[in-house]
Amino acid sequence: MAIAERVKVVEVGPRDGLQNEKQFVPTEVKIELINRLSAAGFQNVEAASFVSPKWVPQMADGADVMAAIERRPGTIYSVLTPNLKGFEGALAAGADEVVIFGAASEAFSQRNINCSIAESIERFAPVAQAAKDAGLRLRASISCSLGCPYEGEIAPAAVADVVKRMLALGCHEIDIADTIGVGTPRKVTAVMNAVSAVADPAMLSAHFHDTYGMALANILAALEAGIAIVHSSAAGLGGCPYAKGATGNVATEDVLYMLHGMDIDTGIDLDQVISTGQWISDYLQRANASRAGKAIITKRQAA
């Protein structure tokens, strides 16, 4: 299948990236991160999470963040909403898209949200209906689509089954997520072919972590399978609190370097993202996990 000439890159750093930082990141820093990313040209930024502060204290200031960001026309600002209470918060905060999350693994579903896959989908039905009534976009993220820390291999048919259930809820977009980063290109091809048989590939996205250094190769396999939406996180921020040892999301800078090098249009300014990735890494006093970002920062300093 021909690779798309334009790919939508969804920036998940402000939510998925920051949620696992142990020290609370000040609200104004989150706001500046989102504003910098918006200015770089992203069509979609995952900005906040309306979950219980007891479970994810880092995201307790979601309403304040959403109230203060500079909204770029044409950019979708997404928020995570696990239940109706979260949805109501998201609606009040002016979210453009709400995100629900399930798993392709029964064991992971039980460990993560204390219920079966079927029960989790049932729980999301009121949120999906509320989003439809409010005219908001609804996105679903399917964890462990390429492997599970408890079950190991996940059958492509199992992922396709969850996609069908999410479609029945009325989702506009569905993320195929490699939560622990164990996928390899052939597995990605098999899973993307399976899910594309039950859903329009245009509404499917690749959300890959880079635990084993496979994320870019896996993204290429997804592109070759007809996927044209990719998730990434500036400077490779993030991980998974429920998957021991899983490292961060693939770095946005690395994804953009690859896509732009393939003459694929993203509408995003790579240099601005590189500066932003280095800025947030410096602020958090952590190493920048983007190889392309570090290489280009080094060239800038030498110039």
Give me the pLDDT at residue 241, please: 47
Q: What percent of the chain has pLDDT over 90?
A: 88
Going by pLDDT thresholds of 50, 70 and 90, the confidence category of residue 244 is: low
Domains, the chain, ordered by start: 8-302 (3.20.20.70)
Query: Per-residue pLDDT for 95 more than 70?
Result: yes
Average pLDDT in the 192-220 region? 97
Average pLDDT in the 231-243 region? 77
Say whether 240 is catalytic: yes
Average pLDDT in the 205-213 region? 95
Pick the closest to residue 205 from 168, 232, 241, 234 (CA basis): 232
**Picking from 16-20, 63-67, 192-196, 259-263, which range would have the lowest pLDDT averaged per residue?**
16-20
Give me the pLDDT at residue 247, please: 64
Pick the closest to residue 207 from 82, 104, 83, 53 (CA basis): 104
CA–CA dist 254, 234 (Å, integer): 9
**CA dist 35 → 126, 234, 273 (Å):** 32, 13, 11
Q: Choose, from 144, 148, 171, 240, the residue flagged as catalytic.
A: 240
Give me the pLDDT at residue 238, please: 83
Average pLDDT in the 259-284 region? 97
Query: Per-residue pLDDT for 198 more than 80?
Result: yes
- The conformation of residue 96, written as its DSSP 8-state character, comes to S
**pLDDT top residue among 252 and 113:** 252
Give me the pLDDT at residue 59, please: 95
pTM beyond 0.85: the answer is yes
CA–CA dist 281, 299 (Å, integer): 18
- The conformation of residue 283, written as its DSSP 8-state character, comes to H
pLDDT tens figures, 68-80: 999 999 999 999 9
CA–CA dist 189, 293 (Å, integer): 28
Q: What are the residues facing 174 on neighbouring strands?
A: 140, 204
CA–CA dist 213, 152 (Å, integer): 18
Which pair of structure tokens corresponds to residue 79? 């928020």
Pick the closest to residue 233 from 208, 258, 250, 210 (CA basis): 250
CA–CA dist 303, 295 (Å, integer): 12
